[in-house]
Amino acid sequence: MSAQAAGREEEPVGGSFADGSWEATEDAPRTVTSPESMPPERTAEAALRPRRLEEFVGQQVVRDQLSLVLDAAAARGRAPEHMLLSGPPGLGKTTLAMIIAAELSAPLRITSGPAIQHAGDLAAILSSLDEGEVLFIDEIHRLARPAEEMLYIAMEDFRVDVVVGKGVGATSIPLDLPPFTVVGATTRAGLLPAPLRDRFGFIGHLDFYGAEELREVVRRSAVRLEVELEDRAAIEIASRSRGTPRIANRLLRRVRDWAQVRGSGDLDLGAAKEALRVYEVDDRGLDRLDRAVLSALCGRFAGGPVGLSTLAVAVGEETETVETMIEPYLVREGFLLRTPRGRAAAPAAWEHLGLEPPAGAEGASPMLGRF
């Protein structure tokens, strides 16, 4: 890849890349409660992003730690240490990277792990960085191994060795780099090699948001969208957002659409409930795909246990889609159990579907999954 092509990869759409958007397969279905975002949504999401650290809602521990790191670097007049942000999609990793650059008054260069396939791609990006610039690498755990090894040296010694030619005639050209800061984002911190992880001076983990924090996110977003949002409607949207700000903002936009097209234009509790009914999001934040998985598990397989691939076939989806997009939330909310013999329905799943578990159903035992 040429430097010009690398530059095109780095240029964000609407000023942002979506956290975790590379994690889903290209043909995976996107629903209104999917934590990933499609390209047309990124401009709308960018308009709702906070610009400064004090505007960022939630993640109090990470915010305090980041504030300390940035203030100390500013006091010394030097670029801060490299930073790694980990957590599920949609929690604000990309937003925090933009805030870091804004707080440092430094330019921000954005790229992603899958876009850097060769060491030469990374060398082209690194050699064009200015002093103090922030390089944001989304999905950093998906870097190609040659690029990963080059990044080790660049992060530690601020230099890269570019090999020109092949065989016995190859020569190595050392390039000195100005001090810069790498901000990496990953949805799978466990896949990062230890040598790369150790080169980050600050590692922050983002957790799911509480209902009150999401209500504040929705309220602030409504102000940016210049719409009047009733407090009860904000609570309703927040309670169905799976603890994820991206989903909360998406649901807010869908409620706004319904209110403007089919309602009176007021974003009240009735508009919120009707809009979420149209988009098949129930009071626990489950959408059509989630309920299809639970219905198949309880209806066709008597609550399980059943293998993941069999369950995916039963609902007509890819195994990866069920495993990465549907299963994590169902497990976290206590609807689904992962057992050595497969997936089983928890008592909450039977109750949510209004069904009675058959006698002897494995998921009906309240002790299952505690050991």
Q: Catalytic residues, which ones? A: 93-94, 138, 187, 246
Contacts (Cβ under 8 Å, ≥6 apart) of 86: 93, 185, 186, 187, 189, 203, 204, 205, 206
In angstroms, the CA 361 to CA 339 distance is: 13
Q: Which of 41, 24, 44, 23 is nearest to 32 (CA)?
A: 41
Q: Is 86 within 8 Å of 186 (Cβ atoms)? A: yes
According to DSSP, the residues that pair with 147 across neighbouring strands are: none
In angstroms, the CA 20 to CA 251 distance is: 19
Dihedral-angle region of residue 22 (phi above 0 means left; psi in -120 to 50 means alpha; beta otherwise): alpha
Q: Which of 59, 12, 41, 84 is nearest to 209 (CA)?
A: 59
| Angle CA 59–62–67, to nearest 5 | 120
Cα separation values, 132 from 82, 148, 240, 288, Å = 11, 21, 41, 47
| Angle CA 347–353–359, to nearest 5 | 45
* C-alpha torsion sign, points 224, 230, 231, 232: negative
Q: Is 31 within 8 Å of 186 (Cβ atoms)? A: no
25: number of Cβ within 10 Å: 12
In angstroms, the CA 202 to CA 359 distance is: 51
